[in-house]
Amino acid sequence: MSKKCIDLVKKKFGDAVLSSHSRLGNDNVEVDRDSIIEILTYLRDDEATKMNFCRAITATDYLNREPRFEVVYVLYSMELKHQLVVRVPLQSNDVKIDSAHEIWGCANWIEREVFDMYGIIFNNHPDLRRVLLYDEFEGYPLRKDYETQKSQPRTELLARERDAVEEFYEFVKEQPAHGSREEV
């Protein structure tokens, strides 16, 4: 069925489809970023596709090639029971793509995660800011060129830091274990 979706997208959007493949139930279509919103809306609304569920939005970093990044949309039709992966290549010097938050509400948070981890900018996003890391964090940790030993700026903590050993002694050691001889 998803092979049919690929054929429908190719027929309707022609030049916007850069490549596609369908192997072992893994159906992918690579499209131009300028047409992404139109293609995603078509896949959601068309009676033959009915891709009403956005399972995931993520990115891929291919460090030593251009286009370096791909934004990946995993779409599923709950009614027709088929899946399609839509990929959008992005150059390393231009990591902007239109937001899909108006097509699927869940895209709002998922796009924030992709921004936070990869630095992909989603145009027209209502609240594009870090969601997993703190605001002062420098860089994007899932990029292949991110220095894993990089020192990050310290921030003032709003509460005292937790000490697991101290908590263990305070809450566990000083109280007899439930069912122990000391409890009696």
Give the SS3 label for residue 54.
strand
> Residues 128-151: pLDDT tens digits?
999 998 888 889 999 999 988 878
Q: What is the mean pLDDT of the chain?
A: 87
- Comparing CA positions, the residue from 45, 49, 52 lying closest to residue 8 is 49
- pTM exceeds 0.75: yes
- Domains along the chain with CATH numbers: 2-183 (3.30.460.80)
Q: Tell me the C-alpha to C-alpha distance, in Å, between residue 50 and each of 9, 35, 75, 126, 133.
A: 13, 18, 10, 26, 35
- What pLDDT score does 142 carry? 95
- One-letter amino acid for residue 112 of the chain: R
Question: Where residue 15 falls among pLDDT bands split at 50, 70, 90?
Answer: very high
The β-bridge partners of 73 are 57, 86
Q: What are phi and psi of 176, to 5 degrees?
A: -65, 145
Q: Is the pLDDT of residue 122 over 80?
A: yes
In 38-91, at which residue ranges do the beta strands (DSSP E only) sit? 53-61, 69-77, 82-90
- What pLDDT score does 169 carry? 57
Residue 121: exposure state from Cβ atoms within 10 A (0-12, 13-18, ≥19): middle
Q: Tell me the C-alpha to C-alpha distance, in Å, between residue 80 and each of 4, 38, 77, 84.
A: 12, 21, 5, 12
Q: Is the pLDDT of residue 3 over 90?
A: no
